Every structure is written in structure tokens, then in C-alpha cells.
Amino acid sequence: MVRMVRERVPAFARDFPRDPALDALVEAFADGDYARVRAEAPKLARESEDPAVQKAARELRARVEADPLAVKLLLVTGALLVALAAWWITHGHPPAPLGPPSAKPPTTVERVR
């Protein structure tokens, strides 16, 4: 006997059909229990005979998935970080001194008076 408070229902779920199992998943979503939604929404979509409940369960499951664009951008950022780190490791030495390669830097002599 799940009792859903109407103001706790997310805006996208307000038009979902009334079903006790679906209401429980919507409440779990509103509570932030996304692991439960990930586990039970596909099961509800398979076992329900009402197409509207199946569609709502699939929509609820899709809402807890990571945004595909964000995942791709994260992978590109990680690859760029690895590439820059590798470049820094292989090229991270002090610059060569100016002048011909055989020239030694001038010796500094401190004179005390």
C-alpha cells in the first residue's frame, strides 16, 4: 500500500498510469533510490500486461541512465588527459641552453671588496 503524495511525483511522471508497482518505483525515484529503479523497472516492463505501464517503466529506467553525450565527453577528456600526461613525461625536460651545443654557460664570479 504505497501512498504517493502528489507533490512528490516528478513532473515527467504525473501522466503515468496508476499502478501499485509503478507508483512504488516512482516513489523510489523521488526518494533517490535509483538502484531500486534500475533493478525493478525492467522487470515491471517485462511482466506488466498494460502497455502504458510498460512504457512508463521503460521511461523511468531511462531517466536513471547516464546522458550518452556526458559519457562521451568524459571519455574524450580522459583520453586528452592521458595524452597530455604522456607528452609531458616524454618531453618534460628543461630547455636546451642557447648558443652552440659546445658552449659552456659563463661562470659567475663573485667579487668581494
Low-confidence ranges of the chain (pLDDT < 70): 1-7, 95-97, 99-103, 105
The domain limits of the chain are 6-63
Distance (Å, whole) CA 21 – CA 53: 9
Residue 71 three-state SS? helix
User: What pLDDT was estimated at residue 91?
Assistant: 86
pLDDT number for residue 106: 75
pLDDT reported for residue 78: 98
pLDDT for res 111: 87
Measured distance CA(83)–CA(23) in Å, rounded:
48
CA distance 6 to 81: 46
Distance from the first to the final alpha carbon of the chain: 96
CA distances from 29 to 37, 84, 93 (A): 6, 40, 53
